[in-house]
Amino acid sequence: MREDRPPPPPSRGGAYSPPPPDQVLENVLEHVLQFLTFRRDRNAAALVCRSWHRAEALTRSELFIGNCYAVAPRRAMERFRRATAVTIKGKPRFADFNLMPPDWGANFTPWVTSMAQCYRALEKLCLKRMFVTDEDLELLASFPSFRELVLICCDGFGTSGLAVVASKCRKLRVLDLIEDEVTDDEIDWISCFPEGETCLESLIFDCVECPIYFEALERLVARSPSLKKLKLNRYVSIVQLYRLMIRAPQLTHLGTGSFSPSEIVAQGDQEPDYSSAFDACRSLVCLSGFREIVPDYLPAIYPVCANLTSLNFYGEACFLCLQVLDTVRDAGLQAVGATCKDLRELRVFPIDAREDSEAPVSDVGLLAISEGCRKLQSILYFCQRMTNAAVIAMSENCPELVVFRLCIMGRHLPDHVTREPMDEGFGAIVKNCKKLTRLATSGLLTDRAFSYIGQYGKLVRTLSVAFAGDSDTGLKYVLEGCPRLQKLEIRDSPFGDSALRSGLYRYYNMRFLWMSSCRLTRRGCKEIAQQMPHLVVEMINGEEEEVKEDYVDTLYMYRSLDGPRADAPSFVTIL
């Protein structure tokens, strides 16, 4: 609808009257702008002039809301009237680690309520760290063109909400539930998909910790000829997995569920031929799962390994994208370094995620990876022992690194060989990895590390800091030195009001700042709030009633076009 345009002039008689020049221009502009897909390009185009602003708004089909509280739903939807795909992100990432009480917010309800009026033609929705209720899902399911739902790290809903989506969304192609918390309402939601052929292309539910009725799943897979991605939860045994694979040889992405026999399999039953099942899936490029891995069954996947380009796997493999547990040990990582020459992304998770656990991977493994996987772009590495030398080596061997996240699990741990802080290692990363945009630090770090980050980290957009630094100077280095900084999350570091103040002119250009258990006072935070009217400054009180002088537990602040939110719970004070 073009309400904001002047009405076209009346036509004269029966003769064709060409539209006025500015309207021609707008038509052309809209046609051209439709080809712009990158958000950054669109945002730039919208700033050219009013006419471009209007045309861009009408042609934007994908709406991205990086912080659900940065703008009111109505305002966003009234500007971008024709969006059919929406992504909304809610809680800050540290909420994943219990650093924020539940019920903080990020409710999806106000968004879906507005969508019910403004976006009836919605096709795709992706939510991350939002609180979504079953009622929200029910409303969503009533949108006639809705076909893709992706929920990442969300909570608030249960299998009854899934049941409604399954039964009412006749055009559903994608239902991806990734690391959500889903309540078990004892409803067999898989059975709620309608009978007859479905258009399902992706069904991911490995995080759903509820038993499913397998026969219903098998029938669903059998009648979903377009299904390419299927990731099962741990209630699917290896025998059941086999049955699904022979029904769906066209799968490209498979999450294998438990990959272990269920107790129901009787002794002496002839075991199915797993190898040939995997062999039959010629198109598999992504394999994950193996939640309760029984090593005897692993050889079954070897036939398909040669074709895989991406693997999320708790074990050994050779791929482009690899996610392992640290049980592979340094030796396993050495094998990866020796064989996975094209590896782009590596994640090594700890099997025992405690600070003083025995971690079987260390600087040795990191060094091996850096020497073998020269094309590495992204790494997440949990360990207990690290050296500057290994990190420096990685910075020199892997110049393509865009994401470097190192978590030395013991707090304040220095280089275990030289006993020095890890400053030089992280300094080398920011200096040598010229494409770096995301950095997470750990280990013993002084202000020097931050001076390096401020000096060299010119492209850094996301920075995660924990138990690091000596003084306000550290944070000042970062706030003054990193022009592209968007997301800064800091915990348990000795940064105070003076440092906070030094970043004043930056905060409108950032998506958010999180600082918990630092040295901020209420007064310091209030000063910021007073000087920056478009910043929402939230003080969040933790569950423990510890009053350390008047240090603030958690500061979470973000820019917003629509002022402070109305749904803040009692433990949040908005200054």
Kindly identify the residues of this chain, within the stretch 122-151, that bind another protein according to CB under 8 A: 134
Does 292 engage in binding with another protein (CB under 8 A)?
yes
Question: What are the angstrom distances between the C-alpha of 131 and each of 112, 124, 179?
Answer: 12, 18, 13
Closest contact distance (angstroms) between CB of 410 and another protein is 5
Nearer to another protein, 432 or 541 (CB): 541
Contact 270, 250 (CB under 8 A): no
Nearer to another protein, 239 or 280 (CB): 239
DSSP 231: E
Does 69 engage in binding with another protein (CB under 8 A)?
no
Does 556 engage in binding with another protein (CB under 8 A)?
no
Q: Which of 30, 62, 176, 185 binds another protein (CB under 8 A)?
A: 185
**DSSP-based three-state secondary structure for 445:** coil
The HSE-up count of residue 374 (CA atoms within 13 Å, CB side) is 3
Q: Which of 57, 325, 340, 364 binds another protein (CB under 8 A)?
A: 325
| DSSP bridge pairs for 310 | 286, 321
**DSSP-based three-state secondary structure for 379:** strand
Does 542 engage in binding with another protein (CB under 8 A)?
yes
Q: How many CB atoms lie within 10 A of CB 176?
A: 17
Does 315 engage in binding with another protein (CB under 8 A)?
no
Closest contact distance (angstroms) between CB of 65 and another protein is 23
Q: Which of 516, 536, 537, 572 binds another protein (CB under 8 A)?
A: 516
Closest contact distance (angstroms) between CB of 22 and another protein is 51
Nearer to another protein, 139 or 459 (CB): 139
Closest contact distance (angstroms) between CB of 545 and another protein is 11
Kindly identify the residues of this chain, within the stretch 7-66, that bind another protein according to CB under 8 A: none
The residue among 395, 386, 380 whose CA lies nearest residue 435 is 395
| DSSP bridge pairs for 399 | none
Residues in the chain: 575
Q: How far apart are CA 260 and CA 238, in angstroms?
A: 5
**DSSP-based three-state secondary structure for 570:** coil
Nearer to another protein, 58 or 364 (CB): 364
Does 322 engage in binding with another protein (CB under 8 A)?
no
Q: Which of 494, 498, 526, 527 binds another protein (CB under 8 A)?
A: 494
**DSSP-based three-state secondary structure for 402:** coil
In this chain, which stretch among 57-65, 111-119, 390-398, 490-498 interacts with another protein, using CB under 8 A? 490-498
Nearer to another protein, 50 or 548 (CB): 548
SS in 3 state form for 2-68? CCCCCCCCCCCCCCCCCCCHHHHHHHHHHHHHCCCCCHHHHHHHHCCCHHHHHHHHHHCCEEEECCC
Does 97 engage in binding with another protein (CB under 8 A)?
yes
Does 370 engage in binding with another protein (CB under 8 A)?
no
The 434-473 contact track toward another protein, x by CB under 8 A, reads ----------x---------------------xx--x---
Per the structure block, which two tokens stand in for 161? 């909400």
Contact 272, 244 (CB under 8 A): no
Closest contact distance (angstroms) between CB of 373 and another protein is 23
The 335-354 contact track toward another protein, x by CB under 8 A, reads --------------xxx-xx
Q: How many CB atoms lie within 10 A of CB 331?
A: 14
Kindly identify the residues of this chain, within the stretch 220-249, that bind another protein according to CB under 8 A: 234
The residues near 64 (Cβ < 8 Å, ≥ 6 apart) are: 39, 86, 87
Count of residues in contact with another protein, rule CB under 8 A: 58
Closest contact distance (angstroms) between CB of 249 and another protein is 27
The residues near 271 (Cβ < 8 Å, ≥ 6 apart) are: none
Phi-psi region of 380 (alpha: psi -120 to 50; beta: other; left: phi over 0): beta
Q: How far apart are CA 227 and CA 230, in angstroms?
A: 7
| DSSP bridge pairs for 325 | 349
Closest contact distance (angstroms) between CB of 39 and another protein is 27
Q: Which of 23, 145, 357, 521 binds another protein (CB under 8 A)?
A: 357
Does 384 engage in binding with another protein (CB under 8 A)?
yes
Nearer to another protein, 391 or 444 (CB): 444
Per the structure block, which two tokens stand in for 461? 């957009």
Contact residues: another protein, CB under 8 A: 94, 96-99, 103, 134, 153, 158, 160, 179, 181, 183-186, 207, 234, 291-292, 314, 325, 349-351, 353-358, 382, 384-385, 407, 409-414, 416-417, 419, 444, 466-467, 470, 491-492, 494, 516-517, 542, 544, 546, 548, 551
